[in-house]
Structure 1
Amino acid sequence: MSVVESALAIIPQPYRDVAIKHRELVKFALVGGTTWVIDTAVFLFLKSTVLDEKPLTAKIIAVLVATILSYVLNREWSFRTRGGRERHHEAALFFLISGIGVAVYTAPLAISRYVFDLQEPAVSLLTQEIADFVSGQILGVLAGMAFRWWAFRRYVFPDKGARRQVPTG
């Protein structure tokens, strides 16, 4: 049983039928979940060590690391039958859109820190860390994933069935 089939098997009906209909979205979400874990781990590691005074820099680096993995997984799995562009053009568009996505991802963290001033000494360290996590890892990721789903299908992998896959035995 494939990863997608395993994931679909745990979804109760009638939601399973919707998920099957939107298999590509399920794969994109699984890639997103995987890269979210990587993004979170890199962000928290950098923010708690070498970039403790620079949370936006830590977030940008974390998103870039996750984006490289995201390109490979999305191209070869989520959107494996989509295409319509030469590979170098596709990759350039993927990274351009992902670059715009970095701004989308980091906007909630920037607003939390610098508009609402949810940082020490205005708030406690605990409040700062919770605000950073919620704004950077939940709100930012949700906004970034929604933007990227739309933009990847529209611009990077626009043609469904452009890269037909040969069934493997």
Structure 2
Amino acid sequence: MPSLTQRLLARVPARLRPALVRHRRLVKFLLVGNGCFALTLLINYGLRLTVLDGKPVLALTFATVAGTAVSYVLNRRWSFRATGRQREALLFLLVSAVAIGVNDLPLIASRYLLNLREPWVSPFTQELADFLSGMVLGTFVAMLFRFWAMQRWVFTRVEQP
């Protein structure tokens, strides 16, 4: 019986399969990232609309920490299939702490340097600027940093498929 991965790969056009197989670590990392992005988005707006109303940077930081914890488990077990554990958790925490800061910087710049917040802009413009700067731009830049740093320093000993 074919595995789930084999069944999904069979649905991909034949000309794309070699590239997906060759870059499978990146594909898995991006799939984990998409799931964690959705989780972060839900937590971020759940916090912003309730207990952290008026504190968007703090809400994004908490949401990103939660998404990062889930991504550690999924990336370790599935994307990178890491085998070494000596310094891995500490290095992951250090890389993630830097990445959380990288993720927050565009939102901080949008809100406090460009003043894209009430009363200088409408509530809709503020929310749109927060989403685009914090959730889209911040997440994208942090994702690039994380993939590079995880491969370089954290998950250096991986199982061969």
When the two structures are superposed, what TM-score results if normalisation uses the length of structure 1? 0.86
Is the CA contact 1:4–1:26 (under 8 Å) kept in the aligned structure 2?
no
Query: Residue in 2 aligned with 1:142?
Result: 140
Q: Which runs of 5+ in 2 are unaligned?
A: none
SS in 2 for 1:121: coil
Distance (Å, rounded) in 2 between the aligned partners of 1:43 and 1:119: 17
Query: Residue in 2 aligned with 1:106?
Result: 104
Query: Residue in 2 aligned with 1:2?
Result: 4
Q: Which runs of 5+ in 1 are unaligned?
A: none
Moved segments of 4+, more than 4 Å: 8-13
The one-letter amino acid paired with 1:28 is F
SS in 1 for 2:36: helix
Is the CA contact 1:4–1:27 (under 8 Å) kept in the aligned structure 2?
no
Deviation of 1:4 after TM superposition, in Å, equals: 7.6
SS in 2 for 1:94: helix
Paired residues for 1:1-169 under 5 Å: 1-3=3-5, 6=8, 8-9=9-10, 11-12=12-13, 14-80=15-81, 82-86=82-86, 89-161=87-159
Distance (Å, rounded) in 2 between the aligned partners of 1:9 and 1:101: 35
SS in 2 for 1:159: coil
Distance (Å, rounded) in 2 between the aligned partners of 1:14 and 1:128: 43
Distance (Å, rounded) in 2 between the aligned partners of 1:119 and 1:4: 48
In structure 2, relative to structure 1, the CA distance for the partners of 1:103 and 1:25 (3 Å cut) is: same
In structure 2, relative to structure 1, the CA distance for the partners of 1:3 and 1:56 (3 Å cut) is: farther
SS in 2 for 1:51: coil
When the two structures are superposed, what TM-score results if normalisation uses the length of structure 2? 0.90
Distance (Å, rounded) in 2 between the aligned partners of 1:127 and 1:149: 31
Deviation of 1:11 after TM superposition, in Å, equals: 4.6
Is the CA contact 1:119–1:128 (under 8 Å) kept in the aligned structure 2?
yes
Deviation of 1:3 after TM superposition, in Å, equals: 4.9
Distance (Å, rounded) in 2 between the aligned partners of 1:26 and 1:154: 17
Give the percent of matched residue pairs that are identical in Structure 1 and Structure 2.
44
In structure 2, relative to structure 1, the CA distance for the partners of 1:56 and 1:160 (3 Å cut) is: same
The one-letter amino acid paired with 2:130 is D
The number of residue pairs the alignment matches comes to 159
1:117-152 deviation digits (Å, cap 9, x = unpaired): 110000000000011111111111110110000000
RMSD of aligned Cα (Å):
1.9
